[in-house]
Homo-oligomer: A and B are copies of this chain.
Amino acid sequence: MGLDKDVNFVIYFKLRMLAEIITIGDEILIGQIVDTNSAWMAQKLNLAGIRVKQITSISDDKQHILEALAEAEKRADIILITGGLGPTKDDITKNTLREYFNCDWRFDEGVLEDVTRIFSKYGRSVTDVNRLQAQVPDCCTTIRNSNGTAPAMWFEMRNKVFVAMPGVPFEMKGIMKKDVIPMLSAKFKTPHILHQTVLTQGIGESNLAELISNWEDNLPPNFKLAYLPAFGAVRLRLSAIGEDKEHLKALSDKKINELKPIIADHIYGYEEDTLEEIIGKLLREKGLTLSTAESFTGGAVSSAITTVSGSSSYYMGSVISYSNKIKMDELGVKESDLINFGAVSQQVAEQMAIGVNKKFSTDCSIATTGIAGPTGGSEAKPVGTAWIAIATPKGVVSQKFSFGEQRQAIIQRAALTALNMLRKQLING
């Protein structure tokens, strides 16, 4: 399961081009922001067959930048730099690179056009400071930035590539996707890397690993599997590396097709799918409407459903019934069942699901009742105990769960589980 499990893959992996990432600026060093840029860049580089050797965060200090560049150049083939490209005096990356490569300034008319266009969009005229954005070292190729005024700069020196990009995440991401990754792939003729992701829910990482160990052990040497757990779901990412794109795709498809029947019950989607989008799609296809009745999840299920734009076409609404009185008055839960079985019971969950379906005249519903903690647990029903019920035109199903001990994790896991239960009912219909 670790990165280094498959020795053959690692050998292949180690042959790849090496990159380093240098982030320039104080925000990361004072802990004001978390460096999400580097993880994103590392992911894209790895997906493109380029290995990241080191990530370095330094402040905008000229001497320190020069040293970091020299050290990175010793180790790596590709050096990606973010930050310090703004128009103010704090932003010294551009001039430091010019000094590092010992070259002159050049004025880039294309960049000035971009700056002028962006400023005129906001009805502002270009100042001298802004014009300076178009001044670049004459030893670089500029890469236009469609989301901002600072261009990216591509340097090829001593058989190495240096790329400086703005640190604003959506500017950097746009430049990486549109230009830098394709340019690096072309220049270094990186091997083809293929990734396919299978999304599972309702089974832990170690149980999953046990279930598929035979399949995993028999993967070809140029294949590798990664387990990526988050919020009670586990993504399985199958990576394959090779020269022949067509062959790689065919082999990867074959492996995924072998995997599917082994864990059919746990797969909810592929690649970038989300449960709330899958459910939305299924409901639209079938022309069905949805409502929810939430107790301990307190709106988490409803929040997830309504993150999908256009959800108002199938999602009608919810009754969040934190109190027993609302469970009775609004959802028709029987007082005797609340007394005899407790609020966290199969009877109550199912009555909530049926009640909200009827109340809002919907076709399907989700109901949750449980103990989110940290208080409210008992010997018989410890914190994390929950019942979830799903009502569809076919009838009502319900299931008991134990979602752990930590309040936020319990709520998140329950919400995902509830969505997946609905998905299963919709596809089995």
Contacts and interface: CB of A to CB of B under 8 A. Distances in A.
A359 B326 CA distance: 9
Interface stretch (A33-41, A157-165, A278-286): A33-41
Contacts of A214: none
A377 to B, nearest CB: 12
A84 B57 CA distance: 20
Given A30-B42, A42-B29, A322-B316, A298 B302 contact: yes
A321 to B, nearest CB: 5
A369 B402 CA distance: 35
A219 interface: no
A28 B38 contact: yes
B407 A309 contact: yes
Interface of A: 2-4, 26-36, 38-46, 51-59, 64, 68, 71, 90, 226, 228, 292, 294, 296, 298-303, 305-307, 309-312, 315-323, 325-326, 330, 359-361, 372-376, 407-408, 411
The 7 closest A-B pairs by CB, nearest first: A298-B306, A31-B43, A299-B299, A299-B302, A31-B42, A318-B320, A299-B303
A326 B320 contact: no
A56 B300 CA distance: 37
A307 B408 contact: yes
A2 B84 CA distance: 13
A292 B299 CA distance: 11
B373 A309 contact: yes
B33 A28 contact: no
Contacts of A373: 309
Contacts of A316: 322-323, 325-326
- Copy number in this complex? 2
Nearest to A44: B31
Main secondary structure of the interface of A (DSSP, over half): mixed
Identify the interface centre among A26, A36, A58, A302: most chain B CB within 10 Å of its CB. A302
Nearest to A40: B31
A51 to B, nearest CB: 8
A298 B55 CA distance: 40
Contact of A58 (B54, B292, B302, B411): B54
Nearest to A306: B298
A34 B31 contact: no
Contacts of A359: 330
Contacts of A360: 323, 326
A228 to B, nearest CB: 7
A361 B408 CA distance: 28
B309 A322 contact: no
A412 B315 CA distance: 20
A79 B64 CA distance: 17
Contacts of A305: 298
A53 B59 contact: yes
A316 B298 CA distance: 10
Contacts of A41: 31
A325 to B, nearest CB: 7
A55 B38 CA distance: 12
Contacts of A32: 39, 43, 226, 228
